[in-house]
Amino acid sequence: MTRMNRPNLGVFFFFAVAFGLSAYFTFAAIQGDFGLFRRVEIEAESATLHADLSRLTSEIRQMENLTHRLSDDYLDLDLLDEQARSVLGVVRSDELVIR
């Protein structure tokens, strides 16, 4: 009698499940919420936010300088004149305005 060697269904099922799990975990490691692609996105966003932070810090320093120059302790008359002209539209009596 010849015995037919057919593959065992349990072995096939085991390898199919093992392949499916490894494919799932590989996909999750690359594109999941904590995967490699998300990490690259977070690093790019971090670089953008650091650039915004440095720009805003520079603007704050400039505003603090202007505020100090117009304070009661230290008054910059040129800056006061410039602000009065731009904000209030003040013109000196010896100036000529052309529209």
pLDDT of the residue at 3: 67
Tell me the Ramachandran region of residue 42: left when phi exceeds 0, alpha when psi lies from -120 to 50, beta otherwise: alpha
Distances (CA, A) of 36 to 25, 27, 28, 57: 13, 10, 9, 31
Q: H-type helices in 1-99, by residue range?
A: 9-31, 36-69, 77-83
pLDDT per residue over 57-95, tens digit each?
999 999 999 889 888 888 888 888 888 888 888 888 888
- The model's pTM is 0.57
Instruction: List all residues 6 or more positions away from 29 whose beta carbon is below 8 Å from its beta carbon.
Output: 35, 36
Q: Which residues are bridge partners to 75 per DSSP?
A: 70
